Structure formats: C-alpha cells, structure tokens
Amino acid sequence: MKHFLRVVTQFFVFLYCKCLWRSLKFVIRKFTGRCELQRICYNNKHGARRTLKIESSLRYSKNQLLQSALSVPPDKVEKTVEDIMTLKKINPDTNPQLGISLQGSLLQIAGYRNLVAEVEKFRREAYDCENVKHEEMLMKWCEIGFQGNDPKTDFRGMGLLGLLNLLYFAEHDKATALQMLNDSLQPKRNDVINDEQKNLDKTIGFSFAIVGINITDLAYSLLVGGALKTHLYNVAPEMASLQHFQQTFCYLMQEFHGFWIEEDPSDIMEFNRVRSKFHRKILRQLKNLDMALCPHFTASDLHMVNV
C-alpha cells in the first residue's frame, strides 16, 4: 500500500512539473506581462534567493539556450544574457535592470563552478617532499600537529588543499589560530572541584593540524554538494574565488573550536560524533537563503597564499 501511494504521489508530482506548472507559468506571464526570469529578478534581492531560483529555472527549462546558460564560461556571460533577452523578446532599453541582474547571477553560477574545479585541483595535488614550495609550506607547520613521520599520511585525502587552508588560517587570523593551537594542546584535567573550575576544564586536547584537515574535508563536502551556494552567493557579488573558500574554512575552524568545547567530549575518540553533529548544524544554517556564514569578511581582508 505504501509503495502504491508513493508511486501515485510521484506520478502527480511529475504531472505537475511537466504539465500544470508549465501551464501556470504561461498564464502568469500573460497576466503579468513578465516571463519567469523577469519575475525572479524583480521580486528577489541580489544573492542566494535570486541566483538559486534563476539556476533552477534555467535547469528545468525546455529551451536548449536557457539550459546551456548554466555552463557558459564567464567571458561568454554577457553575450548569453543578450541571447536570452532576444529569445524572450525583452527590450534591454526598457528593461536595463534585468540584464544587469541576470548577468550578475550567471557570473555567480560560473564562479561557483570554477571554484569547485580549482578546489578539486588542489585536493588532488599530493604533497611532494621533492617540491620546494611544498616543503617551505610544511616547515611552517612542523611543530603544530602533523603526527606521522611521512606528512603525506596526515593529509587524509585532502592533498595540498589541507595545507593551504591551514597556512591561510595562520596568516589571515594569526591571533585566533595561535589561541586555538594553544587550547588544543591543553589536556582534559580530572581534578574538577566546582562549576567554575569545570568551565575551565572542558576537553580540548586534539591535533590542531589534523582537525584543520578534517574541517577542510567538511568545507569541501559542503562546496561540492552545493550547500555552500547559499553562503557564497550572498557574500560574493559576482564570482566566488579560492579566497572566499578559505575564509569559509577560517570561520568553520573558529566555530568548530567553540563547538568542541561546548560538547565537552570525554576524549578524542568522540571526534567523529562531534564533527558529524557540527556538520548537521552548518547544513541547517545554510538552508536559510539569507545566510552568510562569515559576513564580517570583506575584500580588504583577503590575503591569498602564494602557491
């Protein structure tokens, strides 16, 4: 019975998407005099609310030009916007804001796609002890948490990306990174005598660098899974860059530090449980289309690590 109800539900959803919704869009356009893209651009402020709706509208369009707009390179965006307005028979002189809004959203979409590719490139680049630049970066971290004799064993699938993020964190927010490093070296004491002392004796004790690599993995999964679109579309006016991703990593490191202390795990063996709970918390935040995880970062804060 449950299977039958599920099949019926899926059928009606399919019917709605394929027939009723297209018919409804036609009626709304005749009534308002505006196509769906116009309504989205005029009724939603710049950022995730607008760009995510434009992305969905283009993806589910029957028109090949509109579908392909999601994959155009940044230097083709302006021409694509002109083609879309011609297709929709929209006069750019009487609708100048539409072209500007649509171009901004398409640049955000292209920027996110390029960022995923760039991050993936660094993730796949393995640490190479024969590479002088790799060795120079690693030397800055030789005393803060890499545990194995061979540092490659500590990168845990994140390749050079983990090291780049840690280096960026230290250079971008040195005071916070040093405080977190100092806290991470403090073991849990068992001589708790009162509530005030208990507050000071929360569990810290973890490898700072290894946690950084794990948080890099978390940030990477949010990016590749699309959850970070909400944040990046809200903080990057046009194209998101690697710097935006690294800023997000810094924010996640700071937040995880506080979250770990509040969770007060008994030992490091609870790390996966705490990490999973923290991951779910961030995902819930990103469901808010107005969310910007680290709105205090500005363009003047960017300090790109040379690779």
Per-residue pLDDT tens digits of the chain, which is 307 residues long: 656 666 556 655 555 555 544 554 544 444 444 688 888 988 999 999 999 999 999 998 889 999 999 999 999 999 999 999 999 888 888 888 889 999 999 999 999 999 999 999 999 988 777 888 877 777 766 655 555 555 566 666 788 898 889 888 888 887 888 888 887 777 655 444 455 444 444 556 677 878 888 999 999 999 999 999 999 999 998 899 999 999 999 999 999 988 988 888 887 788 899 999 999 999 999 999 999 987 555 433 433 333 3
- Closest to 113 in 3D by CA, of 286, 243, 290, 241: 241
CA 200 from chain centre, in angstroms, equals: 33
Q: In whole angstroms, what is the distance from residue 30 CA to residue 27 CA?
A: 5
CA-nearest of 8, 9, 107 to 50 is: 107
| Residue 170 DSSP class | H
Which backbone phi and psi does 134 adopt, to 5 degrees?
Answer: -60, -45
Q: What is the pTM of this model?
A: 0.80
The Cα–Cα gap between 144 and 182 comes to 10
